[in-house]
């Protein structure tokens, strides 16, 4: 069973408590997908120059955010890990001479559990979290994802969790998205649907309003896209399944990659 890969925006941590079109979409997506044997998530909230891999048999829940309602800190997502899947991932990294490090006891950050809590609320599917390196080139990030592509044939679901537009300094109270945010997302959509790697890899020079959408201090939220795309290199098909916005600029979207 070969599953598609996804890029999924995880938005604000408050998404875990919200009931809206986007969270209901995530719930339906989890119900509609064939049951994965395991889930591998490249998380924007684990940025490291070395490739890191969780190897836990059971995960704790990280509450890696501040100033939120008390209810947020009571939420848990007690998903199991899969040490054998972690070992398989490490073997593939080793095969491609990628320096990597197994990590025990980190727990799942909110970039992982907020979306999985909506998609698979029973928390009964094994999860392996992987770091990203926002300082690598997009082509390197893509190649790391491609190293793991064989696991898609083994029932593994890959998710890149981040945000194509994630600039907390430009959030507003507007109900409607800013024009520049729409323009950036549409450029990404056109490039993704064409699987135009030269343009996407040069997004910092070619995409409109890129400095607003992907500020230098927030690049880690954009790059999970390339890792997820790499796992889908064989088919090179991209479909935007939903597009929404919060706070005027926070882009909430899901891309299926196959």
CB burial readout 132-152, b (16+ within 10 A) else e: bbbebebebbbbbbbbbbebb
Residues 6+ apart with CB under 8 A from 246: 11, 12, 252
| pLDDT of the residue at 147 | 98
Q: What residue numbers bound the domain in which 140 lies?
A: 5-165+216-243
Tell whether 250 is covered by a domain.
no
Tell whether 254 is covered by a domain.
no
Number of separate domains in the chain: 1
- What is the dihedral sign for C-alpha 184, 187, 188, 189? positive
**DSSP reduced 3-state for 78:** coil
Length of the chain: 258
Whole-angstrom distance, CA of residue 133 vs CA of residue 97: 16
Structure-token pair, residue 156: 């593994």
Q: What is the CATH number of the domain that holds 64?
A: 3.40.830.10
Ranges of H-type helices in the chain: 21-32, 83-95, 110-119, 138-147, 179-193, 197-201, 203-206, 210-213, 224-231
Whole-angstrom distance, CA of residue 145 vs CA of residue 7: 12
Tell whether 38 is covered by a domain.
yes
pTM: 0.97
Beta-carbon count within 10 A of 217 CB: 10
| pLDDT of the residue at 174 | 82
Q: Strands across the sheet with 127-132, in order?
A: 100-103, 51-54, 127-132, 38-47, 156-162, 5-9, 250-257, 238-246
Tell whether 228 is covered by a domain.
yes
Tell whether 66 is covered by a domain.
yes
Along the 258 residues of the chain, how does pLDDT read in single tens digits?
A: 899 999 999 999 999 999 999 999 999 999 999 999 999 999 999 999 999 999 999 999 999 999 999 999 999 999 999 999 999 999 999 999 999 999 999 999 999 999 999 999 999 999 999 999 999 999 999 999 999 999 999 999 999 999 999 998 999 988 799 999 999 999 999 999 999 999 999 999 999 999 999 999 999 999 999 999 999 999 999 999 999 999 999 999 999 999
Tell whether 207 is covered by a domain.
no
Tell whether 206 is covered by a domain.
no
Tell whether 221 is covered by a domain.
yes
8 pairs with which residues across the strands? 161, 254
């Amino acid at each position: 069973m070969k599953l598609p890969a996804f890029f999924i925006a995880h938005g604000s941590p408050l998404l875990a408590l919200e009931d809206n079109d986007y969270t209901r979409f995530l719930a339906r997506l989890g119900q509609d997908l064939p049951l994965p044997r395991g889930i591998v998530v490249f998380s924007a909230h684990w940025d490291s120059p070395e490739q890191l891999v969780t190897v836990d048999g059971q995960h704790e829940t990280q509450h890696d955010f501040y100033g939120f309602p008390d209810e947020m800190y009571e939420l848990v997502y007690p998903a199991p890990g899969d040490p054998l899947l972690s070992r398989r991932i490490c073997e593939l990294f080793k095969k491609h001479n990628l320096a990597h490090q197994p990590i025990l006891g980190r727990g799942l950050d909110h970039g992982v559990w907020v979306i999985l809590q909506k998609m698979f609320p029973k928390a009964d599917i094994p999860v392996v979290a992987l770091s990203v390196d926002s300082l690598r080139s997009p082509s390197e990030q893509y190649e790391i994802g491609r190293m793991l592509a064989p696991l898609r044939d083994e029932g593994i679901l890959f998710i890149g969790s981040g945000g194509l537009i994630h600039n907390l300094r430009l959030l507003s109270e507007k109900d409607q998205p800013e024009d520049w945010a729409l323009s950036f997302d549409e450029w990404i959509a056109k490039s993704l649907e064409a699987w135009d790697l030269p343009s996407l890899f040069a997004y910092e020079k070619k995409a409109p309003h890129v400095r607003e959408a992907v500020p230098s201090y927030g690049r880690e939220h954009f790059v999970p896209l390339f890792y997820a795309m790499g796992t889908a290199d064989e088919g090179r098909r991209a479909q935007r399944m939903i597009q929404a916005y919060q706070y005027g600029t926070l882009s909430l979207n899901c891309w299926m990659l196959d």
